[in-house]
Amino acid sequence: MLAADGAEDTLTRPPLAGDLSPRERWVAPCRPRIAAVGIIHELPELVANKIAAGEVIERPASVVKELVENSIDAGASRVEIQLEDGGRKLVRVTDDGAGMDAEDAAMCFRRHATSKLKTSADLFHITTLGFRGEALPSVGAVAQVRLVTRQPGAATGTQVEVAGGKTSEARAAGAPHGTTIEVRNLFFNTPARQKFLRSPRTELGHVMDMVARIALPHDRIHFVVSNDGKTLLNAPPAAGRRERVAAFAGADLAAALLPVEAADGPLAVEGLIAPPDHARASTAMQFLFLNRRYVRDKALSSAVRQAYEGLLPRGRYPALFLFLQMDPREVDFNVHPTKIEVRFRQARRVFACVLDALRAALGEADLAPPLRPSEHVPTSWEDARRSVPVTRHASRVMGLPYSEPPEHLEDARTRPRSLPASDPFAAPAARPSFYQIHNAYIVEETPEGFRLTDQHALHERVLYEELLERSAGAGVESQRLLMPEVVPLSPAEAAVATEVLEPLRTLGLHAEEFGPDTLAVHAVPRLAGDTDVAQLVHDLLAELAEGAEAAAAAISAADAQRQRLACALACKAAVKAGDRLRGSEIEALLARRASLGPRAETCPHGRPTSLVFALADLERQFKRK
């Protein structure tokens, strides 16, 4: 086509490759262009289903969520989840619910087909778990699905198969009453999605987390989970909240939880929260439910933070299990495709009610942590060096010499008298070039000015590097416990623990499986000192659960796992802000920094370990220059 002046009108044809620069060739497909009429068309049903699947189905845990929610809505009293390869090869969910007839069995794989909504008004009065009508079509679009179902009293059941969005004819099949759905080879027809699935252990951990989110509020339903033929969870109907929480968080934590109960108008709040001494290293043990549905909400999370403000150190999070009940007309569940986010009509009122309930529960409880007496009380410095656990900071800095006894263990009859520290004329034999301030920072004089060091951040880096070095060689030195400590685990923690016992051993923590969902710890890293063993195990497993996959292709999964464990252990064992250090300890810590080179400038989490202040800047501030 030619323009009026005889030149070709380039707006009406696609630009040729020779017309474009490399950058233009990259962005050209994104530019709108004038073309023939009829460029907008309706997507084929299979493509539309795959797009919907991308919103609803992210991983095997998403499949488990959709299928189990349907089982609960069908009135099931028992739900069994069988997995293979962490759910990547197979997810099978079997229930004893109402089942379906042949017509419904075929209809349930069509988009927007549901028994839970009839009019748009029903969207604002949601009383079921699943209601969008896209779960089964989405699963069927990206997997190989087999459904077998039978209603109570029906002579036979019905079987329907779906593969890549293509549905077979319904046919008769023998089956117990209820429904079984098998989902095999998730994303078999979308390789780009399949390659983003993580390791079987990681996917299994996500599944166990999802099961906990569903099973905790439905404590009258029996849940069973197995993977590769091994039973991971068997949670029969519970008599109450605390008993169901014990099945997922362990009996020790469940016994320590504080009851919460409050009400305000259309909202009722009840549940269980942990005292500060049972805090965790992550928010993985925080569960908020609204009308028996797991939800996340910024206002509710803020209420939790404010309730525990001043009770927990930085980086520690309370375990809690809160169950909110309110009129469905007061909340909108239709905010997010996964229905995990909600919108309250009276958000401030909900926030205030939850905050007051948490504060009241904490205010009425005795929050003093129980005394855990040592099994052996040292009576002399030499005795203390041999005791288990060792009590000095020097013992936690790997390689620091036991150069001087703690003052509280020295014999007063032999300790030399010294001048008061406040005496300005009491000069030591060798004037140190560093000082500790606020029991948190070390100030050093340098030729150019001075350096301010965060003692925890620097010690964390020192321990991290030594842990990596020793774990790659002969292993980290351990101290054996006088008696093995039995640590109950949540099902999600147990799924992680079974595969990391050897990496934990290289870092000095020796443990073995001790029945279902339990570890027996025989030895801990010597650098961990007198830390709580159960808390150490929970923190290390939480660090792995947060993300155990390699961050880059250049790092193997095993190395990435070892680094994350070393990071968590170093943080746990490092001296803290508030710990008073002796001169020899500071001296040894600074000497180790010098040996690390540039790596010592940040802690393993990326925070700076020190700040440098130039003398010239000080002189300018004091108007000397």
Q: CA 398, CA 395: separation in Å to the nearest integer?
A: 7
Please provide the average confidence, as pLDDT, over all residues in the chain: 79
Is 149 inside any structural domain?
yes
Q: What is the CATH number of the domain that holds 575?
A: 3.30.1370.100
| Helix, strand, coil fractions of the chain, as percent rounded to 5 | 35, 20, 40
pLDDT above 90 (res 432): no
Q: What is the mean pLDDT of residues 610-615?
A: 89
Which of the listed residues 183, 206, 235 is the one where a domain comes to its end? Answer: 235
Q: CA 206, CA 229: separation in Å to the nearest integer?
A: 18
Residue ranges of the alpha helices (H) in 472-556?
491-497, 501-506, 533-546
- Asked whether 95 and 242 are in contact (CB, 8 A), the reply is no
> What would the two tokens of residue 414 be?
């032999």
* Stronger pLDDT, 56 or 11, i.e. the higher one: 56
pLDDT above 90 (res 289): yes
Which of the listed residues 235, 263, 282 is the one where a domain comes to its end? Answer: 235
Q: Are residues 129 and 224 in the same domain?
A: yes
Residue 167 CB partners (closer than 8 Å, separation 6+): 106, 109, 140, 160, 161
pLDDT computed for residue 23 by the predictor: 52
Q: What is the CATH number of the domain that holds 175?
A: 3.30.565.10
Q: Are residues 434 and 575 in the same domain?
A: yes
As beta bridge partners, residue 166 has 163
Report which of 503, 286, 495, 536 is spatially closest to residue 396, judged by C-alpha positions.
Answer: 536
pLDDT computed for residue 227 by the predictor: 95
2-16, 46-60, 385-399, 489-503: lowest mean pLDDT where? Answer: 385-399
pLDDT above 70 (res 556): no
Q: What is the mean pLDDT of residues 511-522?
A: 87
pLDDT computed for residue 405 by the predictor: 35
pLDDT computed for residue 473 by the predictor: 78
Report which of 251, 220, 254, 256 is spatially closest to residue 235, judged by C-alpha positions.
Answer: 220
Q: Are residues 28 and 52 in the same domain?
A: no
In the Cβ-directed half-sphere of 491, how many Cα atoms lie within 13 Å? 27
* Stronger pLDDT, 330 or 561, i.e. the higher one: 330
Q: CA 597, CA 275: separation in Å to the nearest integer?
A: 42
- Asked whether 90 and 182 are in contact (CB, 8 A), the reply is yes
58-62, 211-215, 291-295, 549-553: lowest mean pLDDT where? Answer: 549-553
Burial status of residue 333 (CB atoms within 10 A of its CB: 0-12, 13-18, 19 or more)? buried
Q: What is the pLDDT of residues 371-401, one digit of tens each?
A: 444 433 333 333 433 333 333 444 444 443 3
pLDDT above 60 (res 423): no
Q: CA 319, CA 249: separation in Å to the nearest integer?
A: 9
Fill in the DSSP letter of residue 7: S
Q: CA 408, CA 406: separation in Å to the nearest integer?
A: 6
Is 572 inside any structural domain?
yes
* Stronger pLDDT, 396 or 257, i.e. the higher one: 257
Is 243 inside any structural domain?
no
What pairing do the DSSP bridges indicate for beta strands 230-235 and 222-227? antiparallel
Is 242 inside any structural domain?
no
Is 180 inside any structural domain?
yes
357, amino acid identity: A
The structural domain count of the chain equals 4
The total of other beta-carbon atoms located within 10 Å of residue 14's CB is 11
Q: What is the mean pLDDT of residues 398-423?
A: 35
pLDDT computed for residue 408 by the predictor: 35
Residue with tokens 């709580």: 532
Q: What is the pLDDT of residues 71-126, one digit of tens each?
A: 999 999 999 999 999 999 999 999 999 999 999 898 888 876 665 555 555 555 55
Backbone angles phi, psi at 370, to 5 degrees: -65, 145
Record the pTM: 0.69
Q: Are residues 226 and 279 in the same domain?
A: no
Fill in the DSSP letter of residue 12: G
Q: What is the CATH number of the domain that holds 336?
A: 3.30.230.10
Q: Are residues 332 and 360 in the same domain?
A: yes
Where in 209-284 does DSSP place strands (E)? 222-227, 230-235, 258-264, 267-273
Q: CA 38, CA 55: separation in Å to the nearest integer?
A: 28
Cα R_g (the chain), whole angstroms: 31
Q: CA 302, CA 622: separation in Å to the nearest integer?
A: 43
Domain, as residue range, for 122: 47-235
Q: CA 573, CA 536: separation in Å to the nearest integer?
A: 10
Fill in the DSSP letter of residue 341: B
For 488, the enclosing helix (H) or strand (E) is: strand 478-488
pLDDT above 50 (res 419): no
Residue 449 CB partners (closer than 8 Å, separation 6+): 612, 613, 614, 615, 616, 617, 618
Residue 293 CB partners (closer than 8 Å, separation 6+): 129, 217, 333, 339
440, amino acid identity: A
Q: Are residues 448 and 334 in the same domain?
A: no
pLDDT computed for residue 25 by the predictor: 52
Q: What is the pLDDT of residues 146-177, one digit of tens each?
A: 999 999 999 999 999 999 888 999 999 999 99
* pLDDT band at 535; cut points 50, 70, 90: confident
Q: Are residues 534 and 453 in the same domain?
A: yes
For 614, the enclosing helix (H) or strand (E) is: strand 610-614
Q: Are residues 226 and 277 in the same domain?
A: no
112-116, 320-324, 587-591: lowest mean pLDDT where? Answer: 112-116
- Asked whether 533 and 521 are in contact (CB, 8 A), the reply is yes
Is 375 inside any structural domain?
no
Residue 1 CB partners (closer than 8 Å, separation 6+): 8, 9, 12, 13
Is 456 inside any structural domain?
yes
Q: Are residues 146 and 277 in the same domain?
A: no
Report which of 333, 331, 343 is spatially closest to residue 299, judged by C-alpha positions.
Answer: 343
Q: Which of 122-131, 361-370, 484-493, 541-550 has the highest mean pLDDT?
A: 484-493
Q: What is the pLDDT of residues 336-384, one digit of tens each?
A: 666 788 889 899 999 999 999 999 999 888 776 654 444 333 333 334 3
Residue ranges of the alpha helices (H) in 178-309?
191-194, 200-215, 241-249, 251-256, 298-307
Q: Are residues 442 and 496 in the same domain?
A: yes
Peptide bond into 15 cis (omega under 30): no
Is 610 inside any structural domain?
yes
538, amino acid identity: H
Q: What is the mean pLDDT of residues 555-575?
A: 79
* pLDDT band at 476; cut points 50, 70, 90: confident
Q: Are residues 208 and 274 in the same domain?
A: no
* Stronger pLDDT, 14 or 190, i.e. the higher one: 190
Q: CA 314, CA 8: separation in Å to the nearest integer?
A: 68
65, amino acid identity: K
94-98, 454-458, 532-536: lowest mean pLDDT where? Answer: 532-536
Q: Are residues 98 and 213 in the same domain?
A: yes
pLDDT computed for residue 456 by the predictor: 93
